[in-house]
Structure 1
Amino acid sequence: MITSVGVLIPARDEGTDLPACLRALAVALRELPPELERRVCVVADRCRDDTAELARGAGAEVLVNTRDLTIGATRALGARHLLRGLDHHASARTLLLSTDADTVVDRDWAVRHVRRADAGWDAVAGTAKLNARLAATAQPRYEALLATVRSPAGHGNVYCRSGRAPITRSAASSRSGPPRTTTCGAASPTPDSGWPMPRRRR
């Protein structure tokens, strides 16, 4: 059973969108059982605006990165920070979640991921719905791309980004690496809804 949840959010000059992200995240985390420890870390990545101050004001832990890092390395900073703060929990009982600063998660976002972890999933990759239509010339191409990769088993990984994949601490720290998967499973089309990855048999 999961006993702790860490949420990391990389943010570069996201002062406009971050408050809505953190408000929605706070609602989602309140839906978790009260005994679950939860921590939120915003990695302010070379920001020139008030991203860090807004995150602190919302109660998030803030790491300030001033180096030119890839987004993966930036996320890794936040993940390491969260894992250090949650290291009094067994690794198999810690779930790391990740979302973007311009994303608004659903109320049951965290609950759904915890349920999957409790059911034995090591990792979940997901998508986010756009909150506005693309330009008239781009929308048909976007819909055509999605249509070519959708199947009854899932969306074919077109938007599975490993950086946004919730993952158990034990899977993240496994010597053999994170779980391998050839396809994502089916899930409802909601923001960060999750595409389950089968647990690798050890």
Structure 2
Amino acid sequence: MRYAQGGGLTDTGRAVRERVRLEAVARFEAGETTSTIAATLRVSERSVERWRRAWREHGTAGVLSKGSPGRPRLSEGQIARLERELERGPLAHGWEDQRWTLARIKTLIGRLFHVSYTVEGTWRLLKRHGWSCQQPARRAIERDETAVEVWKKEVWPEIKGPRRTAALGWSSKMRPASRRGRRVPEPGAESARPPW
């Protein structure tokens, strides 16, 4: 059976398939052939053969649904250990800098517990246990905060100028750009660049 985009069956779909398998078991016990069962239940002969083999080996329990495969879960003790290891930092685990990334945490989980998560699954696991995504602000070492504040208060208002309505027309130092309607400085006009 082909599954919808994204993988396996829902719980409802699994229950429907299980009813079909149980119907097949009743037909096995009645002595019907594989091709007859496949045609009646509208499934492939291969599926019926697989169900018949499971029924012979394990009885009716062999054809029952095993439930959702789901992702492997870490126990509370494993989560506590993972948090302790994360607090030790990436350097303690062999990485060259102090940044935890989802890919690194995924690798650490695999190393510690021999459980494979996807990057998305790792994110869901961390989020479920109260961790959040933090991205450090990247600032230049040479950045002068007072110069930035002065620029924002004095220079930027001059560049920005007062709000104009469409009826007032174009600025004398600006000319219309191409088809997108952007305005570009006239050749020779000075540009005031921010200090950062």
TM-score, normalised to structure 2, is 0.20
Larger Rg, first or second structure (1 or 2) = 2
Give 1 or 2: higher helix fraction: 2
TM-score, normalised to structure 1, is 0.19
